[in-house]
Amino acid sequence: MSHRRAAVLIGTIVGAAAMLGACSIQVDEQPRDVPPEQRRNLDSGNAEAGSSAGETRIFLVAPDESGGRRVLRSVLRDIPGDAPSALRALFEGPNDEEAAADLSTLLPSDLELLSAIRIGDILTVDVTGALLNVSGEGSILAVAQIVATASEFDGINAVRLRVEGEPQTWPGADGELLTGPLTVYDYPGLVESSQPSYPGLPTAEGTRR
């Protein structure tokens, strides 16, 4: 190979290497800001459990804003749309956002759902004995939370509430003990209905009742 051809070949190789280097992805030596339009691509992860989203409603206790009787307010959960899932979410209580807005629950933190079986339009809900530790107005609101949450589902018009398989008597809104299946009509005035659920999210298809 002549010296001239060798020089041309070497020059070609060096030029190609320079072009490849220019086309390669360069690593930043210093931190730099990511443009706002590109930041969305860096987001990852799922919404926190119990976040205020979705279409399934549960009922929490609203803050006492008027000095009168406390009432229930619906909130949303991104969970399967069935009564057992809704009741389990209810038993978990408010999330951080809801607690900051003074929403609460009268259901014991150690309350567990044993079963929720629907026969006809009646849902039989069996829970652990922790529910019996709630008394007075707290018991009224706690039971109303369960009844209102279960009654959100089409076809469920009443709730038979048991503790570890045993029938119980439960107070209605006026404190009178009731023995049969419970309905939302046993708790008149306790379910807030004058405003949308917290937080209210408009949809094209409307909301569930």
93-124 residue pLDDT tens: 999 999 999 999 999 999 999 999 999 999 99
Cα–Cα–Cα angle for 32, 36, 39, rounded to 5 degrees:
80
Tell me the pLDDT band of 53, cut-offs 50, 70 and 90: low
Classified as helix, coil or strand, 147 is helix
Residue at 135: amino acid letter: S
CA gap 183, 191 in Å, rounded: 12
Q: Classify strands 122-127 and 113-119 as parallel, antiparallel or unpaired.
A: antiparallel
Whole-number pLDDT of residue 66: 72
Name the band, by pLDDT with cuts 50, 70 and 90, for residue 43: very low
The structure's pTM equals: 0.69
For 57, list phi and psi in degrees, rounded to 5.
-100, 140
Q: Residue 178 in contact with residue 184, Cβ under 8 Å? A: no
